[in-house]
Amino acid sequence: MTKPTPKEVKAMADVAGVPVDAEVATRMANSIGPAFEGFAVVAGTLPFDLEPASFLLVQFAKVSK
């Protein structure tokens, strides 16, 4: 997973229906870049049949000490 460029950010904001100018797009790309970089280790590695609801199953599972 790579962080989006300002040009890509501008295109995504346009598609989302909330257009931003080039300056804002550059600032947004810089702001969210670290999140993409931090999550890059995980992105694209998750198993096929993993659902978001697995969080609730783990939350309610008894943890033995």
Partner 1 sequence: MSAEPALLSLTAVAQAIGQKRVSSREVTKSCLDRIAQWQPRLNAFMAIEADAALAAADAADAALAKGKISGPLQGVPLAHKDMYYDEGHVVTCGSKIRRDFVATTTSTALQRLKEAGTIRLGSLQMVEFAYGPTGHNSHYGAVHNPFVPDHITGGSSSGSGSAVAARLTFAALGSDTGGSIRMPAHFCGVSGLKTTYGRISRAGAMPLSQSLDTVGPLARTAEDCALLLGLMAGPDPQDPTAIAGPVPDYMAATREPIKGLTIGVPTAFYVDDLDAEVAKILDETVAVLKREGANIVPVELPDQRQLTAACQLVLAVEAAAFHKRWLIERPGDYGPQVLMRLQNGLAIPGVSYLEAMRWRGPALAAFNTATAGVDAVIAPVAPVAAPTIAESDVGNSPDAEAVIQRLTRFTRPINYLGLPALAIPSGFTRAGLPVGMQLIGRSFEEAVLLRIGAAFQRATDFHDKVPRFA
Residue 50 binds partner 1, judged by CB under 8 A: yes
Find all residues with CB under 8 Å of 36, minimum gap 6, and list them.
Answer: 1, 2, 3, 4
Residue 22 or residue 56: which is nearer to partner 1 going by CB? 56
Written as one letter, the residue type at 11 is: A
Residue 30 binds partner 1, judged by CB under 8 A: yes
The answer to whether the beta carbons of residues 30 and 22 sit under 8 Å apart is no
The residues of the shown chain that bind partner 1, judged by CB under 8 A, are 1, 4, 8-9, 12-13, 16-18, 20, 24-25, 27-32, 34-39, 41-44, 46, 50-61, 63-65
